[in-house]
Every structure is written in structure tokens, then in C-alpha cells.
Structure 1
């Protein structure tokens, strides 16, 4: 396995935010606030091409996007969590964990008790989609894959990424 090291004139860039698409932004804000303690930053905004055609979002997305709600939350380490509710056209919902698709497919949360968080997810309309594993192979860490009520995958580790990477046998 090869490793790539940044050139001396480059720097590691921090993760800024992640965006998810759900059919109900308000419910998602409430759920992630209750489940993971994410905090809403400002109001949820409703953007319509008919009312505000000059909105920057319409410079980014194709002309088929006509209406969207957008909420912004903060995670525990300052990373943003952006929630999109596509109203027109409506979003398409995956029906199962599509690990084989290309691109981003999960976020990972650090929590000292993955079992307790998994139980909390299940009690609140989320679900467990994997068994608990020890990615280190040495009894040091716990990892579980969960899904929120909209099918977005949330991995839970009981150690930070650097510790897991150093201990991992994968």
C-alpha cells in the first residue's frame, strides 16, 4: 500500500461541511439535534426560483431546480451539516444501504458508546445496518453503521479517526 504525503508547499485543508438531501428539512433538523446534538445555525430558508431567481443557489444547480428548503447545522467540531429539502423537483429516495454506488456514502461520528447511540437511533426511527466490529482487530475500538430515518448512513466510532487509522488492520 502506498501513501501520499502533501508537498511542503501544500497544507491539509479542514473539512468544511457535508450536505444531505431529505424529504423533510424541519424533521431532519429536529432529529439530528436530538440524536447527535447538532445545532441549527439561523433559520431554515425556503428558496423559490419564481420569487428569487437571482439567488446564488440557482447559479449552482440546473434550471430544473425550482424550489428548495435549506437548513444549516453545526457539528461538535465546527464542521457544518447542510440539509436540503428539494421541493420541485422532489428528491429520489434510496431504499437500502447502497454501499456499491460511487461517491460519498456515509458520515462518521465519534461517540464513546456506539452501542448506546445505536440503541438511541433505533428507538427514534433510525436503524442499525451493521453489526458492531473492531476495525483494529485488537479489541480497542468499536464501529457500527447506522441509518437515519431517511436512509443516510452514519458510522459511529468510539475513537477519533487518527487513532482508528493507526490501530486498523484494514
Structure 2
């Protein structure tokens, strides 16, 4: 699991639309890497819409936004099209990247435990160093808080 101040683990994953994306492709830019549990659920939809609505401001501050879940590229395409999302959605179906970033966790709901993605966001600087992280994210006003951190970096 990466620590603030350490190099962010590199990865290559397929994205909506079918292309492959590597974290190292964005060297020289700030990267907002956010992990979310599932396409087209209430909180995940609100989060993706909020990041999409602020995308121009993130880009003006020199940042790219990458959303990651275990959903397939096909599901990402439907999610993107249904809600008019503008952020890149990466598919980590095997949970490799989720595990490397420490967001694949045991969760519980209604007395049952299961493995799932803990909603988390990582801010990676232009040199590929993890500069800030948010874990157990609450969606309300999260995109705005991340934007402020990007502008301050």
C-alpha cells in the first residue's frame, strides 16, 4: 500500500472505449486517481458526475482524473453514456490495482461481510509521487475538496 510521499504504484488498465491507460502515461501532470465500488449506483454516480462537472477546472489546474472500479469496460461504457460522464473510467476486474492501493477491503452490510472497494481518492503529483489521499470518502463535496488540493499542489 503506498504511503504519502512515496512513488505511486504504476499500472496499466483498460478504460471505457477500450484503450489501455498506464499511470506513467500522465507523468508531468497531476493525477486524481479515485476508486469507487460500482457503476451506476447512487453514490458512485454522484461522485462521477461531480468529477465530470469540474473536469475543466481540474484540467486548468494541470490534472487528469481516472476513476477505477472492478466493472467491465462494457459496463463503464454504458455508465459513461447514460450519465454523460467525461472522466476516464478504468476497469480493474482482477482487483490487482485495488489491492496495490489498499482499497480492496472487507466490508459489511446488514450483518454480512464481503470484499469490496473502499471509496478512496489519491492525488499524485507530476513526478508520480503520492501527495495526498482520502479514504472512506463521503461523496458530498468531495470533488470540490480534491480540486482545492490539486490547485494547492
* TM-score in same-fold range (> 0.5): no
TM-score normalised to the size of structure 1? 0.24
- The structure whose residues are more often strand, as a share, is 2
TM-score normalised to the size of structure 2? 0.26
